[in-house]
Structure formats: C-alpha cells, structure tokens
Amino acid sequence: MTRIADLNGFCYPLTPTGRSSLVGPLPWHYGTEYLSILYRADPDAVNAYLPEPLLPALEPGICTVVFSRWTSVWDAKRDLAFENPERTQYREAAIWAGCSFEGKPGQICLHIWVDNDFSMARGWFMGFPKRLGQIFMSEPHPLNPVMGPIETGTKLKGYVTAHGERLIEGTMLVRGKIDPATLPYPLRAPLFHIRHFPSIEAGAPPSVLELVELPAQNVRLGKEAWHGVGNLAFFPSDLEEHMSLAPIEILGGYRFSSGYTFAGGKVLHRWV
C-alpha cells in the first residue's frame, strides 16, 4: 500500500518520483531585468491593503510599477536553462507599495501578473498574489542598426494585459546613467508578504494566513543602471482592482538588473 511518504515533489503533482513537480525545492536562483516606475498613490488606498501589524511606509503612498524579465533555476536543476529554457523564463508586471513592520521599512506586492504557470505556483507559495497575464517590454539591442544600446534619449515601454484587457502601461525616457548602488530605497527594500491558503471546509478559517519576510542572499546588481522620466497609465477593468492605486505623482523611471538567491523565508506573524 502506498504511504504519503512514498509520494514526492516540492509541490503538485505529487508522484512516486517527484520529477514533474511544477516547482523544485529551495534554494532558487534568479536573474532579472527591470523597468520600474516609482510613483505616489493615494495613501488611504495603499493603507487599505496593509493589515496590522503591517504599517504604512515613512513616505505614505509610495509605490512602484515594475515590468520585469526573469530567468530562474533551482539548485538541484542548475542545468535547466540548457535542458529546457522555457521552463526557466518568464515576465511579470507588478504593483509594489511601501510599508513597515516593527519599525523596519519594506515593500509588499499588491497586484501582480505573470506569464508562466511555474512562476504563479511558486509565487503563491511565497505570498505573491500572482495571476496570469501577458507582459511585454522594450528590448533594445546594442547591435540593431536603428535601435542601438540604451543611452540618454532611449525610450522604453512595458505593459500588461489579462483576459483581453490592457491594465497598466509604463514608459521611461532615459536621462542618464547612475550607479546601481544609488537606486532609490523603495526599489531595494525588504519584501513582506501575506501567505493565504483557504480551508477546504466551508466557513472554516484559512488553513494558512501569515505575514512573512522574504530575504535575499547573494544579491548582485548589474554594472549599469539608468534613470529617467517615467509615466504611467492605468486602464479600467471589469475584473481587476488596480485603479485605486493609480498614480497621483510620478517620481521617476529606472532601468536596471539584479540577481539573487532565495533560500527560504521567515514567518513574522500568524493571524490564525
């Protein structure tokens, strides 16, 4: 007779070998390119997403829309990018908001769309409220005769669609190069997330409802980072709830890259 211990896999599907698990075991290693538009939203709208013991950021309403292109592998499958490149690549578009926990500043992801199933499953495990969408970003190529490398005057764009609706569009006009170490703190703040898994029993409390911190290890920034003039457009949706977080002030645009390892998180608070 099969025992539960005979089934393997970090997540579904649980099988005798675990080979087809949608997400492999920790640690996970990431490399990312970002187009980030820093802005200020209505502080009351942001605060409505922050349950105690999370508190608002020192700069109320500080937010970022981030379009990003990712490559990731897990430690036990370091050759996956060679064996099956599609299984390691995805794009995201997200709304982040500044917050704090016990005096420590951080950021929380309020809405996020992703274009690959393994990233969505992994995100739910980590507390990201991921949904499927389609994300597109400008990709200047330095050898393209009419595009050239990113430089002062380069125009960049990202946008996200889901279920036939365009949701958010962000643009950046590059003004110059900056030291990656001087990127604004909201783009580098620690991550606080809410992990939520409902109970299968009707009317019962959630099986998991906890506040977690997601620390990064082996953090590295690309050699180049760019800043510029940013702009955002939020479009109404019949399905999504991002409009309350639309910008009231644009603070700037940033194009940069980073890499890091996620080896596990820390539970800060449990509501159930």
* pLDDT tens readout for residues 124-140: 999 999 999 999 999 99
7 lies in a domain? no
13 lies in a domain? no
pLDDT in tens, 169-210: 999 999 999 999 999 999 999 999 999 999 999 999 999 999
pLDDT of residue 162: 98
pLDDT of residue 204: 98
9 lies in a domain? no
* CATH (domain of 63): 2.40.400.10
247 lies in a domain? yes
263 lies in a domain? yes
SS (H, E, C) the chain: CCCHHHCECCCCCCECCCCCCCCCCCCEEEEEEEEEEEEECCHHHHHCCCCCCEEECCCCCEEEEEEEEEEEEEHHHCCHHHHCHHHHEEEEEEEEEEEEECCEEEEEEEEEEECCHHHHHHHHHHCCCEEECEEEECCCCCCCCCCCCCCCCCEEEEEEEECCEEEEEEEEEEEEEECHHHCCHHHCCCEEEEEEECCCCCCCCCCEEEEEEECCEEEEECCCEEEEEEEEEECCCCCCCCHHHCCCEEEEEEEEEEEEEECCCEEEEECC
pLDDT of residue 254: 99
12 lies in a domain? no
200 lies in a domain? yes
64 lies in a domain? yes
Residue that wins the pLDDT comparison between 109 and 186: 109
pLDDT of residue 154: 97
pLDDT in tens, 6-55: 999 999 999 999 999 999 999 999 999 999 999 999 999 999 999 999 99
- Domain extent at residue 100: 26-270
pLDDT of residue 42: 99
When divided into structural domains, the chain yields a total of 1
